[in-house]
Structure 1
Amino acid sequence: MHILLDLVRRHKAGERIGVTSVCSAHPLVIEAALRHALAVDQPFALVEATSNQVNQDGGYTGMKPADFRAFVEAIAAKVAFPVTRLVLGGDHLGPNAWTALPATEAMAKAQVMVADYVRAGFAKIHLDCSMSCADDPVPLPEQTIAERAAQLCRAAEDAFDGPTADAPVYVIGTEVPVPGGAAEDLDELAVTTPEAAIATVDMHRALFEKVGLDAAWARVIATVVQPGVEFDHDKVVDYRPERAVALSRAIEPVDHLVYEAHSTDYQTPAALAALVSDHFAILKVGPGVTFALREALWALDAIERETVAERTRADLRAVTLERLRAEPKNWAKYYHATGPALDQQLQYSLSDRIRYYWPDPVIAAAQERLFANLRDTPPPLPLLSQYLPTAYAAVRDGGTMLDPAELVMAHVAATLDAYHGACFPHD
């Protein structure tokens, strides 16, 4: 049985179990996730690429789906993580990267992308057609969203050529949060009503059956709803279980479906545990782990300033900010402050749009120089305690070396601890 189908079956049978979906294309984040999964003896690791990161045009990482698979599998080999325990997923697969085009053109490109993901061996496909294209009404009618999801599912099914047991599983939904966090200020969110959640499932089921996708429907494992969690630049809307009681109960009688919760980044350990208990059994995290990555890199930059001669410093933080200002296209539509306030958003916004820039050759070179400097001059323990206390604790416990990459991954792993505790509370 497909590893995700089995997990959902166990959850539906009453076992309080879930899975963390790590949505990132950064090599240190992926390595941290795989090493963390080994350390806690997690049965498998789920790593997802988004349609903006990875697509047939290369996305902002420059990788196509087959490239991403090779990239992740190389990291798995490096840390001796068995590929049999590695599950790859595609997040927000739909026309999101091409919404400036008319819907017919955008959907044609989305079909090619979904097929490429499936041919590359991605086992979990999030069918997300919730966004309006250039000639669409805003908001997009739910019927249109569901029809387009069925269209993409057909493309995925036609692309799959393998044993039935390995056929992809799907995630549907119409109330899908914006990838990467909200751009507007938030105070409180409306929780999806149970009636709306079930109507979405029924609509998709009927459309799938109408176009002969009955076998694919049996592999739909989750629907995306809004449980009342989100984050913006500097605030987090926390999960309040009492507001989602009816929504939680609504999915219980629905065969082989749980909820997938997006934007769970920055939720407390207690909130994450409550989400899994309330049948939000798939927890997506993206900016939360890359935010931790940036925290660690800035901390290492601060250590470098105190330990390395000025003439040889990498000055990663200054170099990165310079590149962000020089190439604003990936953050301009999200950040609207000016002066010092803009510098704060560029660096510290919870939406973490800085993550788009780590592959930049100038920034990557500065990071490598920073790491080389700190390998030549390892950080003293007191400075490590000052700037990276979590990594310091891992070093003192003997589980982490003073290598800068190891320190970064130890800091990222602390974020993943809360997710593992929520998904496997009896470990």
Structure 2
Amino acid sequence: MKVTLEELKKYRTQGNPKGITSVCSAHPLVLKAALRLGRDHQSSVLIEATCNQVNHQGGYTGMKPDDFAHLVFSLAKTEQCPEDLITLGGDHLGPNPWKHLSANEAMDEAEKMVIAYIKAGFRKIHIDTSMGCKGEPPALDDQIVSQRAVRLIQAAEKVAADSDKKKPLYIIGTEVPPPGGADHVITSLEPTKAEAAAQTLKIHQDALCAIGLEDVTHRLLGLVVQPGVEYGNWDIVYYDREKARSLSNSLDTESNLVFEAHSTDYQGVHYLSQLVEDGYAILKVGPELTFAVRECLFALDHIASEVFSDYSYRYLQNGLENLMLAKPNYWNSHYHGNAHECYLLRHYSLSDRIRYYWADPKANEYVQTLLSKIKGATVPAPLMMQYLPGAEHFSKKSFDPEEVIIWYVQKVLKSYHKACHLD
């Protein structure tokens, strides 16, 4: 069932809430899994790139917005997913990648990034200017956040008009979880206060109207709030709908909005369904999907170690360990503890910072060596039962490891699809 972003508000007000999964990943196998699921169910495929991952300077993937869009639509053609099912989004678009610079310098770069996203055809734009820059406090007040957000929206509107693009749909909000999840122990979270959410919305609406962008207020698709869900390295805080009841009920007076929930990874169907029913219609997921890729690859690494006498024991995992130690910048400020604790975090943390390494040529070499070794082999069913329970059916035919990984990722995506009430 295809549900568009604009229709989410209608379904909620009609008492038949539906949701859309926001797939926040640049991993080709994750993208293939999402596009294939959209094709098979004829449902919307919302794929988002984050500011650190993809920007006008390349981001950690080395891709600019045009490159990312080309990747998605090339894969869509391969997977025979109709383009009209696909929406591209930009996540956390703001100064975050350049917050070590002065505010003026960081915002100049953020503006260039937003312009690049719009020119590349991204339509759903999450504006996040909540972080402080050099010399500023880590979190800023709503007035400063709204002023900076409006600057980026103004730039996006001008580019969209000049290039005859569809008018963008915007997500705003100041209570934004950190991209990629928390990096500290968490046991509980307080949901956003309903009054704070209302104030954030009003301040942004007033700021837009003050510069003649009233039309944009009708394209404010949703508000990022904290419903009380998060994950850390080892911990998951599950949704408590009673604790968030006041916030959820506040949507009753805002018929033109839905809430966007970040860091919904690892919640599972039960809690995801409750989130959708309570008005959190856009569910963002990213690390759980690449965590699934990593789980499956490590399992295949074990299987190859057992099946092939000339395959080094845990070749892929050991290679990645060496790579992460040689290039620690993506994990060393996030993982803390003794040597063994940091080892465990590098490979198994729920925040899955190993995902930053998949685009590295050396990591790609390790993966391709594994996939080439096991492709077409006969894998005994008991080994699949041992390392990938439920995947035994793949042992009955010529083994295709990419198909196994896509199947494994789709297990996560199907839980989101079910929670969004799209069947």
Fold match (TM-score > 0.5):
yes
Percentage of identical aligned residues: 43
**Contact 1:391–1:408 (CA under 8 A) maintained in structure 2:** no
Residue matched to 1:23 = 24
Residue 403 (structure 1) aligned with residue 400 (structure 2): yes
Report the secondary structure of 2:23's partner residue: strand
Aligned counterpart, 1:71: 71
The alignment partner of 1:242 has SS state of coil
Q: Deviations over 1:378-405 (max 9, x none)?
A: 3222211211123336x48x9x973100
Residue deviations 1:338-370, cap 9 Å, x none?
221111000000000000000111110110111
**Matched residue type, 2:281:** A
Equivalent residue letter for 1:392: E
Larger deviation, residues 51-60 vs 378-387: 378-387
Kindly provide the amino acid, as one letter, of the partner of residue 289 in structure 2. V
Amino acid at match of 2:139: P
Match of 1:8, as an amino acid?
K
| 1:289 equivalent in structure 2 | 289
The residue number in structure 2 matching 1:215 is 215
SS in 1 for 2:336: coil
What corresponds to 1:385 in structure 2? 385
1:210-359 equivalent positions in 2, closer than 5 A:
210-310=210-310, 315-359=315-359
Show CA shifts across 1:274-313 (max 9, x none).
0000000000001011111100000000001001123577
Q: 2 CA distance for matches of 1:330 and 1:226?
A: 26
| Partner SS state of residue 146, structure 1 | helix
Kept in 1, the 8 Å contact 2:316–2:366? The answer is: yes
In structure 1, the residue matched to 2:194 is: 194
Shift of 1:44: 1.2
TM-score (norm 2): 0.96
Name stretches of at least 5 consecutive residues in structure 1 with no aligned partner.
Answer: none
Residue equivalent to 1:166: 166
**Hey, what's the Cα distance between the residues in 1 that align with 2:262 and 2:399?**
34
State the secondary structure of the residue aligned to 2:239: coil
Distance 1:257 1:153 in 2: 18
Displacement of 1:164: 7.8
Cα distance between partner residues in 1 of 2:27 and 2:21? 17
- Structure 1 residues 330 and 254, CA, compared in 2 at 3 Å: closer, same or farther? same
What corresponds to 2:135 in structure 1? 135
Give the distance between the partners of 2:378 and 2:169, measured in 1 at CA: 46
Contact 1:24 1:48 in 2 (8 A): yes
In structure 2, how many angstroms separate the alpha carbons of the residues matched to 1:190 and 1:154? 33
1:22-70 superposed Cα distances (whole Å, 9 cap, x missing partner): 000000010011112223x142100000000000110000000000000
Q: Contact 2:304 / 2:311 at 8 angstroms: preserved in 1?
A: no
Letter in 1 for 2:405: V
Deviates more, 1:250-259 or 1:93-102: 250-259
Match of 1:151 in 2: 151
SS of the equivalent of 1:283 reads strand
Gaps of 5+ in 2: none
Contact 2:111 / 2:152 at 8 angstroms: preserved in 1? yes
Q: Structure 1: how far apart are the matches of 2:100 and 2:337?
A: 25
